[in-house]
Structure 1
């Protein structure tokens, strides 16, 4: 009997390590399952795997998220909302203008372009403007010219002035003096220069010429010391107080436009820089070997913030829809096959809501399904909420 108990104790002792090992492994397996994490890419939430690594699309490090959390909302404190600049507004019914956006460009207004040329033959002794891109004010000295022709005209002017004084009763000398003065004015001399000439009584072959208008030096045609013929171009000045906006349009688009109509223009892709242009001209024929017409209008350039060559988007109105449920376009987050907005449900809770969109204008988008009037949608900060949701819960699935 004692021998039988001894054998039972011996067998139980031998089996204990195995049982303990199995129990420990089972507990470890349970712990592993409990702490198992899922990893995703912040930029590409469709990338999901059960181990750390890098995104095969963009190469970013994958981040963990809790896939067991089934709550489809985020909760943010007031401080977090202020830090993320989250604002919301109630969805409402209103009128929606339908636009077609066409690409255009800003160009120089030729009416503000001034070519300065030499009215006399001679040699440029001093050139005061030697580079392009600098501003020039009206009356600013541009160059000093050596001209024997102007010297002769000045001497004629002084002589006829003396004759007018000596023969003050003879109208012919007064007319000859006026003709000599008018000739110098036509050759580019100013009233103040002629007054100084009469005061000094001395002629000079060196004459300074001044800018007849203000502008930016766009092109320079001469160099210092160069000999000029009469009519030679000196420089080209461009003014930028107004600019032209041009765009290529198809005939079906031209049907929505009339000359004199005011259109909205988005300059350089900046939604805060929405300007107005008046259609001044639409070409009556197609461009060579195309079916494209051209639209042109002028646009104000206060502060010279617009630049030549800057891209512009012209919004062509196609009609108006009344009693439309709409939200600001920037409140909608668009993915490949779906769109959603974020609903502010109170208490710091924000819930994603999939929507079906319709007509879009510049600022607003029609909501066909997914929202009801009065619900509050997040206007600014929606993308931050979406990123936070992806990081914590993974991809948003409809």
Structure 2
């Protein structure tokens, strides 16, 4: 019988433990190797790391925001490398909400996730070489100017005004004479020819002869017939006083009859109706009321069979042989419409304009619109002009101001319209034309002005052409081309 060596069983028991130890070491080495970043799998160069909520945080390595503890996100490097000679510059993309984000290809903003928009094909203005800036039409300072195409100027309706003149002109066309001004207005009823008819007594409208608005009534035409107990009582008293006056020689009952007749007149009973009542000797159950004037029914507030109280409005009559045209205008234009002046009015639907007279200028502005009201009385004998129709008041072109013999310090102050001012916090800017379709943003210092003009204390000179229409479009185009970080227009900070 063969005997086993004493050490063999112990060697057999130790071998599984060695195997497990070696397997654990191999697995740990593999895990450490997998945890190492693969340089081939990087998405691209990273300029810095920033916080999605606090863009002022910049770091060179990943980490957490010291303000909100959010994980920092990677930001691609700025596309500000100068192009080599003979090679066109690559397009740049930026975020509309975070102008500090620049990329050389389309994508999403790492901060807000919005799609990046394409900026100018050339680098920002401050990245131009000295030779490029010197080659600009206005010299080195013009290297930061914004140059538009003719189509952009036409679509943006870019208009400029030379400082010292009041007539705006197109950025591509010579100065034209001031056009004829047009004020928008509305035809309204002449309230001086309007009369409201109300019920004189309490009663029931048994018969209504007017059934619709717009109906033309002649003076003396029947309007409505009413049954009233008050009228019935006064009629009986009047007839009784007349009968007693015939039997008594003293004028006591005659005076009583005259007083009762006066009460009936005040309640709207005409003299013809009183004579008819005296001849018949019998009170009428219904008293008819007639139109006091010729006019058109503007409003109708009663229906047949309705019970009305004393003073209830029933209808409104307006004589449309003369109407008003109410137009809105700025206070600065009120001097072109003095009271009593005759102006031309073009009403919608009418072939030829009509002449009217200015009868009223409102001394106050209408609400928050900064507009005032002018009223023109226009004759309308044929009734063709209907209230509610749109109308235009045609004003002659404003005469050119006479040249002053001498200029005082107060008169040499440069003024610009409010539409030309771009406000950025406490700073103010205007866009000045420096060449054909070429514009420059200039920082200005303003004084206290009015709603129509602001004095410029510094930043502009007499003769400068300032953009009065389309300034915000130029500002938007500049932002898209240059980015919010390029604050070098005319040497001024944003």
Matched, 1:100 2:152: no
Structure 1: gaps of 5 or more residues: 1-95, 322-398
Which residue of 240, 245, 258 corresponds with 1:164?
A: 245
Tell whether 2:290 aligns with 1:210: yes
| Residue aligning to 2:278 | 198
Q: For residues 225 and 269 of structure 1, what CA distance do their matches in structure 2 show?
A: 40
Shift of 1:318: 3.8
How far apart in 2 are the matches of 1:218 and 1:317? 35
Superposed, which structure 2 residues align to 1:312-327 within 5 Å? 312-319=391-398
Q: Which residue number corresponds to residue 303 of structure 1?
A: 382
SS in structure 2 opposite 1:105? strand
- The total of aligned residue pairs comes to 224
Rounded Cα–Cα distance in structure 2 between residues aligned with 1:207 and 1:113: 24
- Offset at 1:177? 2.1
- The equivalent residue for 2:342 is 262
Equivalent residue for 2:368, pick from 261, 279, 289: 289
Matches within 5 A, 1:266-285: 266-268=346-348, 270=350, 272-285=351-364
- 1:130 is aligned, of 204, 211, 231, to 211
Aligned to 1:120: 201
CA separation in 1, counterparts of 2:210 and 2:335? 48
Q: What's the offset of the Cα at 1:133?
A: 2.1
1:146 and 2:227 correspond: yes
Separation of aligned partners in 2, 1:316 and 1:201: 66
Give the conservation status (yes or no) of the 8 Å contact 1:269–1:312: no
Name the counterpart of 1:234. Answer: 314
What is the SS of the residue equivalent to 1:315? strand
Change in 2 beyond 3 A, CA 1:244/1:315 = same
- Answer yes or no: is the 8 Å Cα contact 1:266–1:313 preserved in 2: yes
Deviation at 1:204, TM superposition (A): 2.3
Shift of residue 156, structure 1, vs aligned partner: 1.1
Q: Say whether 1:111 aligns with 2:192.
A: yes
Shift of the 98–262 alpha-carbon distance from structure 1 to 2, 3 Å rule, reads farther
- The Cα shift of 1:221 comes to 1.2
Write the distance in 2 (CA, Å) between the matches of 1:152 and 1:145: 14
Determine helix, strand or coil for the equivalent of 1:225: coil
**Structure number having the greater strand percentage:** 1
TM-score normalised according to structure 2 size: 0.43
In the aligned structure 1, how far is the partner of 2:197 from the partner of 2:375?
27
Report if the CA contact (8 A) 1:256-1:318 is conserved. Answer: no
In structure 1, what is the equivalent of residue 264 of structure 2? 184
Task: Give, in whole Å, the separation in 2 of the partners of 1:313 and 1:133.
Answer: 24
Q: 2:236 aligns with which of 155, 164, 186?
A: 155
Moved more, 134-143 or 279-288: 134-143
Distance 2:181 2:349 in 1: 15
* CA shift in 2, pair 1:304/1:315, >3 Å: same
Residue 98 of structure 2 is matched in structure 1 by none
Deviation at 1:290, TM superposition (A): 2.2
1:279 match: secondary structure: strand
- Inter-partner Cα distance in structure 2 for 1:269 and 1:241: 18
Question: 1:76 corresponds to which residue?
Answer: none
Name the SS of the counterpart of 1:304 in structure 2.
coil
1:33-71: CA deviations, max 9, x gaps?
A: xxxxxxxxxxxxxxxxxxxxxxxxxxxxxxxxxxxxxxx
Give the distance between the partners of 1:269 and 1:102, measured in 2 at CA: 17
Superposed counterparts of 1:10-25, under 5 Å: none
8 A Cα contact 1:269 1:313, kept in partner: no
Cα–Cα, structure 1 residues 119 and 291, in superposed 2: closer, same or farther, change >3 Å?
A: same
Look up the SS of the partner of 1:183 in the other structure: helix
1:181-238, Cα deviation, whole Å (9 max, x unpaired): 1111111111111111000000123211211122222222112211111111222222
- Tell me if structure 2 keeps the 8 A contact 1:106–1:307: yes
Higher relative contact order (CA 8 A, sep 6+): 1
Q: Check conservation: 1:122, 1:146, Cα contact below 8 A.
A: yes
Task: Report the Cα distance in structure 2 between the residues aligned to 1:168 and 1:99, rounded to whole angstroms.
Answer: 81
